[in-house]
Amino acid sequence: DGGITQSPKYLFRKEGQNVTLSCEQNLNHDAMYWYRQDPGQGLRLIYYSQIVNDFQKGDIAEGYSVSREKKESFPLTVTSAQKNPTAFYLCASRQPAGQGVHGYTFGSGTRLTVV
Residues of this chain that bind another protein (CB under 8 A): 4, 6, 31, 33, 35, 40-45, 48, 50, 58, 88, 90, 92, 94, 101-109, 111
* Minimal distance, residue 85 CB to another protein, in Å: 18
- The Cα–Cα gap between 24 and 7 comes to 9
Residue 98 beta carbon to another protein: minimum distance, rounded to whole angstroms:
13
Which residue lies nearer to another protein by CB, 10 or 14?
Answer: 10
- Quick one: which H or E segment has residue 8? none
CA 10, CA 27: separation in Å to the nearest integer?
24
- In 3D space, the residue among 89, 60, 86 whose CA is nearest the CA of residue 76 turns out to be 89
Identity of the residue, 16 or 100, whose beta carbon is nearer to another protein in the bound complex: 100
